[in-house]
């Protein structure tokens, strides 16, 4: 698992969302590195990390713990956005002894309905022999992708000798999409997992990803859950209101620096 590291102190792992890479939370990393040892990871099938067939949350959590062990990190705070938030929560549930606290940004520990068919179709049909990023952008727009998402996706497009290629493993993400939108911890079963440590659900006021319908699932799995909404944002709240987002994350980590 590829990562970049900065700062020193108690470790904090930053995990991006679907279609992103470690640079997505770079501004937060810069804010934290004066007080913390910050690791920004590229998830499997994203950025500069390995292309792997299994992106289930249990598999990625094991990879993340293996990275911590490799770096001789006993425990860490984990901050994740969207899919990255699910990875953070899965790691806390499966390996609570490795996690000091969690910040889950605009995501809940539940399964979601399919909402990326248009994006995947536009990406699959993109003519990679295009000579200009403007052509790629227009293709995504013409195929129903909104401009903010299209600009975000283009960050994962890089030049090669014949035109462009995706840095991310598009076919791998499509194959693993049911895992990505799903959730493994069934609170209807009698032996579902819980994490007793501190966790902050930092979310948009838009109820698309975090809303009252998910409260029971959140509290069952994370009995110490705190929740804060950032007004005037959508799903990319860390990019839309970075000053507020970074401050709230920093304050939460400072309050729970030892995991208490």
Confidence band (pLDDT; 50, 70, 90) for 162? confident
CB 125: neighbour CB atoms within 10 A?
11
CA 45 – CA 177 distance, rounded (Å)? 12
Q: Which residue has the tokens 């009995």?
A: 223
Catalytic annotation present for 235: yes
Question: Under 8 Å CB-to-CB from 190, ≥6 apart: which residues?
Answer: none
Phi, psi (rounded to 5 degrees) for 147: -65, -40
Query: Pick the catalytic residue: 49, 82, 101, 204?
Result: 82
Checking if the pLDDT of 260 tops 80, the result is no
pLDDT tens, residue by residue, 22-78: 999 999 999 999 999 999 999 999 999 999 999 999 999 999 999 999 999 999 999
Ramachandran bin of 131, using left for φ above 0, alpha for ψ from -120 to 50, beta for the remaining angles: alpha
Low-confidence winner among 147-151, 241-245, 247-251 (lowest mean pLDDT): 147-151
Q: Where are the domains of the chain?
A: 3-112+182-255, 117-170
The domain covering 3-112+182-255 belongs, at the CATH homologous superfamily level, to Alpha/Beta hydrolase fold, catalytic domain (3.40.50.1820)
Confidence of residue 161 (pLDDT cuts 50, 70, 90): confident
Point out the catalytic residue in the list 16, 46, 77, 235. Answer: 235
Is 82 a residue of the active site? yes
In the block, which residue shows the tokens 């994370």? Answer: 222
């Amino acid at each position: 698992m590829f990562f970049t590291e900065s700062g020193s102190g108690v470790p904090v792992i930053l995990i991006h969302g679907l279609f992103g890479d470690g640079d997505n939370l770079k501004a937060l990393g810069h804010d934290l590195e004066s007080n913390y040892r910050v690791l920004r990871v590229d998830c499997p099938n994203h950025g500069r990390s390995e292309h792997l067939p299994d992106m289930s949350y249990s598999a990625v959590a094991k990879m993340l713990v293996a990275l911590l062990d490799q770096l001789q990190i006993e425990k860490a705070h984990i901050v994740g956005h969207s899919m990255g938030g699910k990875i953070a929560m899965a790691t806390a549930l499966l390996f609570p002894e490795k996690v000091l606290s969690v910040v889950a940004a605009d995501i809940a520990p539940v399964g979601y309905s399919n909402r990326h068919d248009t994006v995947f179709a536009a990406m699959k049909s993109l003519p990679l022999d295009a000579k200009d990023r403007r052509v790629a952008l227009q293709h995504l727009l013409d195929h129903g992708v909104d401009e903010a998402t299209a600009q975000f996706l283009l960050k994962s497009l890089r030049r090669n000798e014949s035109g462009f290629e995706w840095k991310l493993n598009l076919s791998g993400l499509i194959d693993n999409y049911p895992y990505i939108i799903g959730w493994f911890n069934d609170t209807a079963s009698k032996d579902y997992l819980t994490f007793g440590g501190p966790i902050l659900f930092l979310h948009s006021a838009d109820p698309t990803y975090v809303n009252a319908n998910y409260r029971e699932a959140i509290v069952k799995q994370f009995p110490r859950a705190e929740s804060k909404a950032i007004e005037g944002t959508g799903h990319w709240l860390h990019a839309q209101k970075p000053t507020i987002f970074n401050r709230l994350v920093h304050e939460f980590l400072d309050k729970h620096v030892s995991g208490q």
